[in-house]
Structure 1
Amino acid sequence: MTSSGLEDILPLSPMQEGLLFHSRYEQDGADVYAVQHVFDLRGALDGDRLRTAVDALVQRHANLRAGFREVGSGRTVQTIARHVEVPWKEVDLSAPTASGADEELDRLAAREHSHRFDLAEPPLLRFLLARLGEEHHRLIMTTHHILLDGWSTPILVRELTALYESQGDPAELPRVTPYSQFLGWLAQQDQAAAEAAWREAYAGLERATLIGPTDPGRAGRMPERIVLELDEDRTAALADRARRDGVTLNSVLQAAWGLVLSRRTGQNDVVFGAVVAGRNPQLTGVESMVGLLIAMIPVRVALDPAQSLLSTVLRIQEEQSALTAHHHLGLARIQRLAGYNELFDTSLVFENYPWGEDPADRSGPGLRIAPDLSRGRDATHYPLTLIAAPGRRLHLRLDYRDDIVDRAEAQSYLDSLIRVLDLFTADAGRSVGRIDLLTHEERTTLLKHATTHTTPDTTNSSSTLPELFEAQAARTPHAPAITHNNTTLTYAQLNTQSNQLAHHLITTHHIGPEDTIAIALPRTPDLITAILATLKTGAAYLPLDPQHPTHRLTHILTTAQPTLTLTTTDTHLPHHTTTLHIDHPTTHHHLNQQPTHNPTNHHRTTPLTPHHPAYLIHTSGSTGHPKGVVTTHRN
């Protein structure tokens, strides 16, 4: 591919900056933002004439000739070549002996898709025309998402058809609204107002919503996918219910996906990404503009168990509508305003593109170009991406990275989503807290694997939690107490480790009843050991999530004023207390010197009773308590 001359230099949109980052950073695996569209062509076709139409189409839209280069200041710009040579291939798969034409076409398409684009070298699109029969062809367009969004595709198809019929003459087409006008409009928006709106929208968020482990070095990988469609009756009933209640299908899907994530993560306040069109009606001609106008924004779904499903949908729609004017702010900036590097790792795409009349249904002479959605390739870098497309049948597709989520788990996400959609149709007034998303099979599996334990008599109010645990450890010393990944601790092992840590806290740090220990540890056996050890000293524990924003951690530590914080060497916390790094070699050395027997009141700084505090939870008000610290006693 070659280009000649320079026509223009343009800035990047926030979405383009994000895609450029992923494509440059994830060089070891697949470029998941390489997109492939497959079009079914019916009618007599002149290949040279179609290639002329493609060249005219690329010449017509300057941003299709863009390359992305870093300038001397370190900033990346898109350079628009005056002319580019568009890569074009033709293959004939129509021979009678070519019984595997579809399989061969799939192989060729996969090879085209796997060939990475150099984003600095335009054009970032190429074409393959396959002849399948006398009047049957397929056109495969492989491009990079940094050039185009889904809304642009129907526009390109309509223009390509017109240019084919006019032999490449654009005179009959309407005047182009250049993509550069959108970039100029972005630069004029009120950044301060947008930042204030997003900051307010994410105030009080206590946790990111992540279904997979955070791994910045994870290589790109094309996802597996599960596709299904609601039948026409269920689709019509869902659309009718949404219309009668004054909500969009997109809002229903957002609420449903939020509820599914809530059930899967155990969080009542969840966040996921959503793709928005970004085509502000204030910009003249934006509906026919070709380019990347979409944006990825976070959607927050805070669930109130007492609120009905319908009320939840209405509230989400209202909250998202209030943020529409601020969609132009980049995702990276929004996440920083919320206090997180990564707010979510699942996304929702609602595809409602302006295809209009189905080209395949047209009668009369001429070339008919229709998208073959079953053969296209597109993806994101997230572990889960839900794609929904309305129509007579609601089309649902769940893309999943099978190195993070297996097929059975992905299917269960989709099954849960369908149950919420059906429930919205049948009983939208049901309270969120009464919605059960377990299938009969899942409930049976849980019950089958549940273990019945005989619990000790706790009616004696003098029993403390450490004593109850120690009694269980004495009864079943070799029974597994904790299983985590490939690690299993028996009751005896857990009791011994927590005893050693408790003795260290008592003798070295003088921890005892009425003291508070903050615990900022990942969800590993060390967390359970630390909680038990704290309780054995007689102190109360205060759980901290290191992923919370710094300002929130500072507020909690300032309010609770713990005596000591247990954490790890790679966890960064505000410096408000004395800190003990339990993974430090010196700590390990001291712990190994401690006795293994159960601490008693003889060892503690003061006697422990059931009336001493056991733990402190800092609430946001959702528990029914006022905002602040809730203290729970041992009885």
Structure 2
Amino acid sequence: MGNAVTDNAIWKLATPAQQGIWVLDKDDKLRPTYLIPTVLEFTGGVDNAILAESAQAALGRHPALRSRFRLDTTTLRVEYRTDGPAGEVGFIDALADGWTAEELDRLVDMLCWTPFDLATEPQARGEVIKADENTTLLVLTMHHISFDGWSRHLLVNEVIANYQAISRGERPATTMSIDPADVVVPPQPDAERVAEAVERLRGAPMTVELPYDRRPAHASVLGANLSVELDEELTGKVMAVAGQEGCTPFMTAVALLAGTLSRCSGQRDFLFALGWPGREDPATADAIGMFMCTLVLRVRFDDSTTWRELLRNARAGAMEAFMDSDVPLDSIAAALNPGRQVLWPPLTPVLVNVDDLPLELPLAPGVTGRYRLDGPVYTKYDLDLFVRLDQSGSGSRMTLAIDYPTDLFDQPTIETLLSGLRRSAVDLAYSTEEPFRVRPADR
């Protein structure tokens, strides 16, 4: 099967979402630009052989994870095929081999960030690592060209289901999942629909006035993460007001960010990017692949806008963006920002999204699992705001987290911005009918 990759007959045209991820280097070679590493840490009596078998079965069941890609330099089209072998899941007994903690960290980093050869390798690999007597790591690395955030949930859930099935003496699922090439691609919207989407955003600034500490000519994508957690009382009051306006945590975060940044800079018209799953077709709900796309929402207001009205504006902007999800961002960006850089966010440097990773992964009785999120942070946006709402027996807590490039911002600057977000949350909760530009302490 591996030799069949040289047969040109079954290469297929990659989807627009996939084509937007590759980069062409100076030698006209297709190079990887984004990886999606996932490090799962399990504590307890894990059967490492079963875990490796479970992950191997999951990688082998999804055509997208077998993908190989090539660039036709004549047509500048990215083509792919899925008939090659799946990526392998290995096993390392770091405890028996005497790995130090520092060596283990370097190993995990290497497994996470070693690039794939897109033309010859499957775009997924895994490694089970016995770290100590009570800790096992599962490192899964996928290329974004074949994988998105929705797919991560599907894959991790499948690995867990496989482990539980094998532990009961059952075989894991072997039926091949849907090939992304078999998903019916909806027709491109007509010119009138594109024009409507463009008009919704026309006139908005293509920049966001952020509190930059530096503006280097070539900023790195290496970043850091900081967050602030709202207590249960404040979270409850914020979400009660948001609920009155039909706002989700995401829409609430948009309002808080817009209000906070406006207080800092005076800007009153914002474009924010958001990741959209792109799973409107029910056939894609359980399909692993790259279906996600980027939408842009607009939120605008004036000095008399109250917090309640700002919530309404954020909701309206989000709903308009959702309704335009079938309009390619490239078409909108070409009309609004023709001088954009192809490999950089085309309309806004700010992304707002939801953090919905589960806190616990139920692998087996006596085994607790979690996503390990202590690795390096990479971001292509100047500011990524993630909102998370965690429920508990006594209430819920909202966390607002910011990923930021360290070339652009110092830690105290982001800490100040997070403090501003928290103050905005207090004002939204307790001064709902007051203009957002006026803080109670300023009256």
TM-score range, shorter chain: 0.7 to 0.9
- 1:435 and 1:9 map into 2 onto residues whose CA distance is 60
Q: Deviations over 1:262-306 (max 9, x none)?
A: 3344322122222222221xx124332222222222222212211
In the alignment, is the contact (CA less than 8 A) between 1:129 and 1:138 conserved in 2? yes
Structure 1 unaligned spans of 5+: 439-635
- Aligned ranges 1:383-394 → 2 under 5 Å: 383-392=382-391, 393-394=397-398
Partner residue of 1:253?
A: 253
Q: Which amino acid is the alignment partner of residue 245 of structure 1?
A: E
Partner residue of 2:4?
A: 5
Q: Does 1:415 align with 2:426?
A: no
Partner residue of 2:350?
A: 346
In the alignment, is the contact (CA less than 8 A) between 1:223 and 1:402 conserved in 2? yes
Displacement of 1:373 = 4.1
- Aligned ranges 1:39-78 → 2 under 5 Å: 39-78=40-79
In the alignment, is the contact (CA less than 8 A) between 1:62 and 1:178 conserved in 2? yes
In the alignment, is the contact (CA less than 8 A) between 1:274 and 1:296 conserved in 2? yes
Partner residue of 1:516?
A: none
SS for the counterpart of 1:84 is coil
In the alignment, is the contact (CA less than 8 A) between 2:22 and 2:32 conserved in 1? no
- 1:373 and 1:395 map into 2 onto residues whose CA distance is 17
Partner residue of 1:295?
A: 293
- Aligned ranges 1:313-392 → 2 under 5 Å: 313-340=311-338, 341=340, 342-352=346-356, 358-360=360-362, 364=365, 370-375=369-374, 379-392=378-391
Q: Which amino acid is the alignment partner of residue 65 of structure 1?
A: R
- 1:437 and 1:343 map into 2 onto residues whose CA distance is 35
- 2:174 and 2:21 map into 1 onto residues whose CA distance is 31
In the alignment, is the contact (CA less than 8 A) between 1:40 and 1:371 conserved in 2? yes
Per the normalisation by structure 1, the TM-score is 0.59
Displacement of 1:223 = 0.7
Structure 2 unaligned spans of 5+: 341-345, 392-396
Partner residue of 1:18?
A: 20
- 1:54 and 1:160 map into 2 onto residues whose CA distance is 5
Q: Does 1:93 align with 2:88?
A: no
- 1:383 and 1:125 map into 2 onto residues whose CA distance is 28
In the alignment, is the contact (CA less than 8 A) between 1:56 and 1:170 conserved in 2? no
Q: Which amino acid is the alignment partner of residue 301 of structure 2?
A: L
- 1:239 and 1:424 map into 2 onto residues whose CA distance is 10
- 2:49 and 2:312 map into 1 onto residues whose CA distance is 53
Displacement of 1:131 = 0.7
Q: Deviations over 1:15-60 (max 9, x none)?
A: 4333224x859x9xx9773222111234544444433333322221
Partner residue of 2:129?
A: 130
Partner residue of 1:463?
A: none
SS for the counterpart of 2:95 is coil
Q: Deviations over 1:349-381 (max 9, x none)?
A: 21336x5x9434x7747xx57332433555321
- 2:116 and 2:220 map into 1 onto residues whose CA distance is 14
In the alignment, is the contact (CA less than 8 A) between 2:66 and 2:122 conserved in 1? yes
- 2:173 and 2:17 map into 1 onto residues whose CA distance is 32
- 1:331 and 1:436 map into 2 onto residues whose CA distance is 40
Partner residue of 1:555?
A: none
Q: Which amino acid is the alignment partner of residue 74 of structure 2?
A: S
Partner residue of 2:141?
A: 142
Q: Does 1:275 align with 2:279?
A: no
Q: Does 1:312 align with 2:310?
A: yes
- 1:285 and 1:411 map into 2 onto residues whose CA distance is 43
- 2:3 and 2:163 map into 1 onto residues whose CA distance is 25
Q: Which amino acid is the alignment partner of residue 412 of structure 1?
A: T
Per the normalisation by structure 2, the TM-score is 0.82
- Aligned ranges 1:535-550 → 2 under 5 Å: none
Bigger drift between 239-248 and 30-39 goes to 30-39
- 1:228 and 1:121 map into 2 onto residues whose CA distance is 43
- Aligned ranges 1:435-450 → 2 under 5 Å: 435=439
Q: Which amino acid is the alignment partner of residue 209 of structure 1?
A: V
Displacement of 1:254 = 0.8
Q: Which amino acid is the alignment partner of residue 77 of structure 2?
A: T
SS for the counterpart of 2:330 is helix
How many residue pairs match? The answer is 421
- 2:62 and 2:337 map into 1 onto residues whose CA distance is 39
In the alignment, is the contact (CA less than 8 A) between 2:386 and 2:401 conserved in 1? yes
In the alignment, is the contact (CA less than 8 A) between 2:144 and 2:290 conserved in 1? yes
- 2:44 and 2:299 map into 1 onto residues whose CA distance is 49
